[in-house]
Every structure is written in structure tokens, then in C-alpha cells.
Amino acid sequence: MLEHLNRAMEHIERRLDQEIDVAELARIAMTSEYHFRRLFSTLAGMPLSDYVRRRRLTVAGAEVLDGGRTLLDIAVSYGYTSGEAFARAFRAMHGVGPGEARREGAALISQPRMSFRLIVEGSSSMEYRIVEKPEFRIIGKKARVPLIYLGVNPHIAEFIRGLGTETVERITALTAKDPLGIVSVTDDFSPNREEGSELDYWHAVVAREDAVVPDDLDVLHVPAGTWAVFTNRGPYPQALQEMWGETYSQWFPSNPYETRPGPEILRTSFVPGTGDAEAELWLPVSRAVRADG
């Protein structure tokens, strides 16, 4: 799959001065648009839209310094509707306006071209299982919070603290067996999953079939489907965040599955007397349909 992903990256480079169709990039990468966006943002550490913008402004910056075309011509070539819009974007990335950069020969910021390769870690293996799960309900309390990639999300921590012991106990009593107990559920992300964008966070359970939903709790109905379930143990929260990254950098490129829309479920239990946690990550997946070569 990485070969096809790199072909998509080459397609971006050829069309920096044209409209870039994400659906076409996904076709070149032989995957769905949903999975392409998710895979790219995880591997690259930034949303696809940010990468394209930064590459355009990098190439535009070289043209600004070259002095061969007017600033307005350059702006229009790279998709900006006015010189003012181009100047704002240029300054946001380079720290200087295009006119000033041209006059003074300023040093500019460069976004390198990206390509992807698989690094195989021989010292450990990733534990996973594939589960075909009938439709189920997630029952608990939810909040709309900003997405934070590194460290503990303080908005989620504050939300959980405010629930109270009695509410958490009532939610826990509704649990099914797989996964068992309280889980963290994330859903309804922005398409690019950029840091600071909002998502739904659930402190909830995957409920047993006969569970009756109390009026003060939220419910999410999840259709039947396939799930990839990953497990690991390590320092909290670093090991959990690394597991998310490894599923996309190592597991998906090596296995015939891709992500599909749906909630992402994390069950975490802390190991007494340590700073470690055992985690089980449920990701909604579908069988990838890829042509040979």
C-alpha cells in the first residue's frame, strides 16, 4: 500500500498549481477517501489540507524570491483569489509578507516533500484480533471536546471528573462482556482531524442487549460491522498514543484492511503500583479491495 500512497504524493506535487481532488488521491492510493485522510494525517502528523497548503506556499516562496512573475500571478497560480489572501497565508507560514520577502531576499520556511516507508520493528509484535460484531449501543455521557494529540486531554479529564461516582456506577452496570466495563469512545471528527478541531467524547459502555437506557444518559447506535482490536501495555498515556500511531504506520500498510466511518473505542485499565496501563483499542475496519501492482 505504501507504494500507492507515494504515487498519490507524487500526484500532489504535479498539481500544486491546480485543484487537487482528494477522491482522485484515494483512487491512486487504492483505498477509500475516508481511510486515505485518516492514514495520511496519522503518518504525516498533519492534515492533508495543511500539507498541500504548506507545499504550495513553499513552492510559491521560491517563485517570490526568483522575481520572474508578479506577486498577483503567483497568488492566482496557487489557488488564492486575491493578493491579500495570498499575503496573509504567506505571512502565516513564512513570518514575512511576499513583497517584503522579494525586496529583502528573506529566509523562508520550507515544507519538504513527503514520502512514506515502512519501518519494521523486529523486537516486538503487535497483538490484534478481528471481530465481526452485530449492531450494538454505546450508553453513557458525551461531551464535545477539542482534539489534542499528545498528553492528557484536560477537557476530557475535567468532563470525567464532573460525572460523579454514582453516574459512573450506573453506566458501568449496563456493560456487555466484549469489551467489558467503562470505555472511552471518540466519534464525529472533522474530516482532516486537525489538532484543536472538535469531536464527540463518550465516557460509556458497550451495552448489553437488554440494557434499559436511563433518561439522563446518552445513547449511540452502532451498526453491525468488522472491528480490528489491538492490545498493548505500557506507560500511560504515551504507550496508548504510540499504539494509535503504530496501527497506521505498521499494521494497516501490512494487512488487507482499511478504516471505515464509525466510533473508535478504547478500554483502559491501570496496572496497580505502576504508571502503566493495559489498553484495548477497537477500530472500525472493512476489507480493503486493492488491485495488484
DSSP codes of every residue in 61-121: HHHHHHTSS-HHHHHHHTT-SSHHHHHHHHHHHHSS-HHHHHHHT------PPP---PPP-
- 46 part of a folded domain: yes
pTM over 0.75: no
Same domain membership, residue 282 and residue 137: yes
Looking at the predicted structure, is the pLDDT value of residue 275 above 90?
Answer: no
- Spatial neighbors of 62 by CB under 8 A, at least 6 apart, are none
Looking at the predicted structure, is the pLDDT value of residue 126 above 80?
Answer: no
Same domain membership, residue 52 and residue 8: yes
pLDDT of residue 119: 53
Which position has the higher pLDDT, 1 or 227? 227
Same domain membership, residue 71 and residue 24: yes
- 42 part of a folded domain: yes
> What angle is formed at CA 245 by the lines to CA 239 and CA 247, rounded to 5 degrees?
100
Binning pLDDT at 50, 70 and 90, where does residue 290 land? low
Which segments of the chain does DSSP mark as H helices, in order? 2-14, 22-28, 33-44, 48-66, 71-77, 83-94, 98-104, 154-161, 165-172, 238-246, 252-254
Looking at the predicted structure, is the pLDDT value of residue 249 above 80?
Answer: no
Hey, what's the cell of 140? Answer: 453513557
SS3 call for 213 = coil
- 53 part of a folded domain: yes
> What is the signed CA dihedral for 61, 62, 65, 68, rounded to 10 degrees?
-110
Looking at the predicted structure, is the pLDDT value of residue 149 above 80?
Answer: no
SS3 call for 12 = helix
Binning pLDDT at 50, 70 and 90, where does residue 263 land? very high
What mean pLDDT, rounded, does the chain reach?
88
pLDDT of residue 124: 43
Percent of the residues in the chain that have a pLDDT greater than 90, as a whole number: 57
pLDDT of residue 151: 72
The CATH number of the domain where 208 resides is what? 3.20.80.10
Looking at the predicted structure, is the pLDDT value of residue 94 above 50?
Answer: yes
Same domain membership, residue 252 and residue 208: yes
pLDDT of residue 64: 93
pLDDT of residue 152: 77
The residue out of 55, 71, 104 marking a domain boundary is 104
The CATH number of the domain where 27 resides is what? 1.10.10.60
pLDDT digits (tens, 9 = 90+) for 19-55: 999 999 999 998 899 899 888 888 887 889 999 999 9
- 93 part of a folded domain: yes
Looking at the predicted structure, is the pLDDT value of residue 293 above 80?
Answer: no
Binning pLDDT at 50, 70 and 90, where does residue 1 land? low
Same domain membership, residue 145 and residue 256: yes
The residue out of 70, 104, 138 marking a domain boundary is 104
Looking at the predicted structure, is the pLDDT value of residue 237 above 80?
Answer: no
The parent domain of residue 192 ranges over: 127-287
